[in-house]
Amino acid sequence: MKFKVNNGLIYFFGALGGLLFGYDTGVISGAILFIKNDLHLTSWTEGIVVSSILFGCMIGAAISGALSDRLGRRKVVLIAATVFCIGALGTALAPNTMFLILFRIVLGIAVGSASTLVPMYLSEMAPTAIRGALSSLNQLMIMTGILLAYIVNYIFSSIEGWRWMLGIALIPGLLMLIGMFFLPESPRWLLKQKKEEEARSILNYMRKGKGVEEEINEIKLANKLEENQGGWSEVKQLWVRPALVAGIGLAVFQQIIGCNTVLYYAPTTFTNVGLGASAAILGTVGIGIVNVIITAVAVLIIDKIGRKPLLLIGNAGMSIALFVLGIVNVSLGQTTAASWTTVICLAIYIAFFSLSWGPVVWVMLSEIFPLRIRGIGMGIGSVTNWLANLVVSLTFPKLIEQFGISTMFISYGIMGVFAYIFVNKKIPETKGKSLEQIEMELRDNAISKGIDLAHTITK
C-alpha cells in the first residue's frame, strides 16, 4: 500500500517543504555577491533578483490553498515539488538576468505553495497532543534550510560558485518529490470528499488503531455543520471573521517586527565589528546553528507552554533588544562597545524570534480556520505574509538611507509593542484543543454575540 512508511518518515518528508523554503531564503544572501559581478547587475536589478522570489511566493500561496481544497493536499505538494525542481535547475543554469528573474519567480511559486501546504498537511495528519510540535517541525526545517544554505555558501564561495549554490536545492527538491509520492493523503481532506474507507485506513495506520472512530466522528461532525457553505462566500461570513483577523494579523506582524531584515543585517554586522570575510561567514553559520537549536526547543515546549505565552514572551524579548539596539547606535556612535552591543542584541532578537513568532505563526495559521475554508484561509495568511515580506524587504534599504538604522530598529520595536497588544486581544489559545474543538469555539463565540450562523453572509 502507498502509505507503508512509518510515521517519522511521513512527518519528515511532509516537512521537507520547509527545508526548501529556508534554503532559498538563505542561499541568495551569499550567491548574490557573485551573481552581481557575473551578470553585471545594477543595484536596481540586484533588488529584483533578490525579491522576485517573494513575488512568486505570493502567487504560490494564493493558488495552492484553494487548489489543495479541490485536488487534495498530497497532489498539490507533488506539483509544487516538481515546480521547485524546475525552478532550481532554471536558476542554476540561467544564461542571463532575465532568465534568472523568471526562474526565481517559478521557484517562488513552489516555495509559496510549500509554505502554505506543509504546515496544513502536518497539522491535519497529527494527533492533537503533538500537533503544535509537528507543525513547528516545519519551522525547524526552515531554519535547517537556512543553515544548510549558509554552509553551502561557505563551501562554494572560494570558487565563486553561485550556480552550484542555487542548483544544490535540486537535491532536497527531488527528495521531497520522491518522498511525497509514497505519503498518504490527509485523512481530514479525504473525509471531506466522503472517502471514508480510505481515511479510516490511513488513520488506523497512523494512530495504530487508537481513537480512530472518535476522530472520524469529530471530523464528520465538523464537516456536517458546514455542508451547505462553499468557497469564498464562507470566508466572508461573520462567524469566521475573528479567525481571519487573527490569521492576517499574525502573518503581517511576523514581518513588520523586522525578522527578515534583522536576519539579513546580521552578517553585515559581523564585518562591521571587525571580523574578516570568512570569519563573518562562519559567524553567520553560528547564528544559523543557534536558530536551529532554539527552534528545536520551541518544538519541544509549544504544546506545553502554549502558543500565546510564547508569542508574548517573544515580543517582549525582541522589542527590548531592538530598543537597546536603536538607543546604543544613537548614543555610542561607531565605537567598539556599540558594535559588540549590536551583535549581542541581534543575537538576542534572533533567539527570541526563533522561540516564538518564527514557529508559532505557521502553527497557528494551520489551526485557526474552520476545515472547509482551511485551504483558502491558510492561503490568505501566507499571501499576506509574503506580501508584507516583499514590502519590508523592498523598502528597508531606502528607509535606512532616509532615516538611519537606529530609527528603523526602534520602529520595528514599536511594531513589536503593537503586536503584543494584538496577540493579547485577538489571538485565541489553541493548545491541547482538537481542530474541531477550535472550530466549535469559533461558532460558540459567534452565537454568544448574537451572530446568526445560518445567515451570516455579508454584503
Q: Which is nearer to ligand BGC, 180 or 350 (CB)?
A: 350
Given 29, 123, 237, 385, the residue binding ligand BGC (CB under 6 A): 385
Size of the site for ligand BGC (CB under 6 A): 12
| C-alpha closest to that of 378 among 282, 262, 240 | 240
Given 54, 263, 410, 438, the residue binding ligand BGC (CB under 6 A): 263
Taking CB under 6 A as the rule, does residue 393 contact ligand BGC? Answer: no
Question: Rounded to whole angstroms, what are the CA distances from 28 to 216, 254, 316, 365?
Answer: 44, 21, 30, 27
Given 25, 51, 64, 329, the residue binding ligand BGC (CB under 6 A): 25
SS3 of residue 193 by DSSP: coil
Stretch in the footprint of ligand BGC (CB under 6 A) among 201-209, 254-262, 324-332, 398-406: 254-262
- Here the cell at position 355 is 522561540
Q: Which residue type occupies 192?
A: K
Instruction: Tell which positions 286-345 bind ligand BGC, by CB under 6 A.
Output: none
Q: Which is nearer to ligand BGC, 28 or 263 (CB)?
A: 263
- Here the cell at position 170 is 535540486
Taking CB under 6 A as the rule, does residue 260 contact ligand BGC? Answer: yes
Taking CB under 6 A as the rule, does residue 384 contact ligand BGC? Answer: no
Taking CB under 6 A as the rule, does residue 138 contact ligand BGC? Answer: no
Contact 76, 84 (CB under 8 A): no
User: What is the chain's percent helix, strand, coil content, to nearest 5?
Assistant: 85, 0, 15
- Rounded Cα–Cα distance for residues 111 and 118 (Å): 10
- Rounded Cα–Cα distance for residues 226 and 442 (Å): 13
Smallest gap, in angstroms, from Cβ of residue 222 to ligand BGC?
A: 27
| C-alpha closest to that of 33 among 23, 20, 45, 46 | 46
Smallest gap, in angstroms, from Cβ of residue 388 to ligand BGC?
A: 9
Contact 255, 389 (CB under 8 A): yes
Q: For helices 170-181 and 73-93, what crossing angle results, to 10°?
A: 160
Taking CB under 6 A as the rule, does residue 82 contact ligand BGC? Answer: no
Neighbours of 347 (CB within 10 A): 17
Residue nearest to ligand BGC (CB): 358
Stretch in the footprint of ligand BGC (CB under 6 A) among 88-96, 127-135, 213-221, 256-264: 256-264
Taking CB under 6 A as the rule, does residue 142 contact ligand BGC? Answer: yes
Instruction: Tell which positions 416-455 bind ligand BGC, by CB under 6 A.
Output: none
Stretch in the footprint of ligand BGC (CB under 6 A) among 100-108, 272-280, 306-314, 355-363: 355-363
- Rounded Cα–Cα distance for residues 140 and 197 (Å): 33
Q: State the distance between the two ends of the chain, measured CA to CA, in whole angstroms.
A: 48
Instruction: Tell which positions 95-134 bind ligand BGC, by CB under 6 A.
Output: none
Taking CB under 6 A as the rule, does residue 358 contact ligand BGC? Answer: yes
Residues that bind ligand BGC (CB under 6 A): 25, 139, 142, 254, 259-260, 263, 358, 361-362, 385, 389
